[in-house]
A and B are shown apart, each in its own frame.
Chain A
Amino acid sequence: DTGVSQDPRHKITKRGQNVTFRCDPISEHNRLYWYRQTLGQGPEFLTYFQNEAQLEKSRLLSDRFSAERPKGSFSTLEIQRTEQGDSAMYLCASSPGHRWGYTFGSGTRLTVV
């Protein structure tokens, strides 16, 4: 059990570029979650997978955002045509079930310039 891994740790991109983040959950966890956290705020829910199925999406997840979890293992979060408002920490978490607390990764800090 090596925890939840996220890559990259930091990403600086120019406005209008596309970016993709990767999350590797704890291997035996079938649930995977993406959250976004801006400075001084708590994390906000973006989307959740159970195995490979994307079961819930927040209204925060505009059509520029897409997430996948092929084969129910790692997950990617892509942001197209980035905007300055997308600058945030993107957190991934995994869990063996809803009744249990999540294990969070260290996050990917995105800066859009």
Chain B
Amino acid sequence: AQKVTQAQTEISVVEKEDVTLDCVYETRDTTYYLFWYKQPPSGELVFLIRRNSFDEQNEISGRYSWNFQKSTSSFNFTITASQVVDSAVYFCALSEARGGSEKLVFGKGTKLTVNP
């Protein structure tokens, strides 16, 4: 069965600190997709990144970076030099490719508060 665990319920940092959000997933499938979404206080989920199971390259996009490690079934997200606008709930999600299912299974989210 698919499962996503985000063990950190809430994190609070001071602006300009680096912060890493953890995501651990479970799947029996060899082909799957991992996602991160941001949900600011306005409520709309914003897509940040998609990674497929065959691509273990780390990715950097501006202040954001992602570390995908199949050996530990983890897909962690780091924000460098955090800003107040980064305050949001961040969700990690998993989608298996087998069986034609296209549903995303989300973790419970990590609420990040960046204080000035």
Q: Which residues from chain A sit less than 8 Å from chain B, CB to CB?
A: 31, 33, 35, 40-45, 48, 55-56, 58, 89, 91, 93, 98-107
Which B residues touch A89, using CB under 8 A? 43
Smallest CB separation, B39 vs chain A (Å):
9
Q: Which residues from chain B sit less than 8 Å from chain A, CB to CB?
A: 4, 33, 35, 37, 42-47, 49-50, 52, 91, 93, 95, 97, 100-109
- Besides A35-B104, A106-B42, 18 other CB < 8 A contacts? A41-B108, A42-B4, A42-B93, A43-B91, A48-B102, A56-B100, A56-B103, A98-B97, A100-B50, A101-B47, A101-B49, A101-B50, A103-B47, A104-B45, A104-B46, A106-B44, A107-B43, A107-B44
Which B residues touch A55, using CB under 8 A? 100, 102
| Chain A, Cβ-Cβ closest to B95 | A98
Total residue contacts A-B, CB cutoff 8 A = 63
Which B residues touch A33, using CB under 8 A? 102-103
Which A residues touch B107, using CB under 8 A? 42
Q: Report which of B103, B105, B106 forms a contact with A48, defined as CB distance below 8 A.
A: B103
| Chain B, Cβ-Cβ closest to A50 | B102
Smallest CB separation, B85 vs chain A (Å):
18
Q: Is B105's CB under 8 angstroms from A45's CB? A: yes
Smallest CB separation, A50 vs chain B (Å):
8
| Chain A, Cβ-Cβ closest to B97 | A98
Q: Which 8 A-B pairs have the closest CB atoms?
A: A42-B106, A101-B47, A45-B103, A104-B45, A106-B44, A98-B102, A101-B50, A43-B106
Q: Is B106's CB under 8 angstroms from A101's CB? A: no
